Amino acid sequence: MNIARRYLAAVIGAAMLTGCTTISENEYKNAQAIIGGSPAIKRSVITGCIARQAARPLVERKSESTIMNASLASFPTTFCNRLWNAFAKGRITYADYQDLSSSTADHSKVIKIMQGR
């Protein structure tokens, strides 16, 4: 699902500090440990995420806010908080990250997280 891929793309974008297009499981887990263990870094990542989401095309923000059960105005903040909190707590696993590159994989777990469930 394209929307689910975008969710995880935001996670991976911040996790890929090395500039690579893919990251290893260890790099993913290291990023989770850093973000989960440092409130200052997590705040910084969320702030950057909010700015990027707010700048996305209106059509995309509208459709994703509807899927997330969030208002259009709160979408950037809601999206980023749900995503990064789930990432930091380990609710979005490396296997989830790998699965999102497949159009046939089950993405319901990430969708539920983004819906606040």
Write down the pLDDT at residue 87: 92
**One-character DSSP codes across 16-52:** -TT--SS--HHHHHHHHHHHHH-HHHHHHHHHHHHHH
Contact yes or no for 104/16 (Cβ under 8 A)? no
Continuous segment of H or E residues that includes residue 112: helix 108-114
pLDDT digits (tens, 9 = 90+) for 37-72: 989 889 998 999 999 999 999 999 999 999 999 999
pLDDT digits (tens, 9 = 90+) for 69-83: 999 999 999 999 999
Contact yes or no for 99/109 (Cβ under 8 A)? no
Continuous segment of H or E residues that includes residue 58: helix 58-67
Sign of CA dihedral 68, 111, 36, 22: negative
pLDDT digits (tens, 9 = 90+) for 84-112: 999 999 999 998 888 877 778 888 898 89
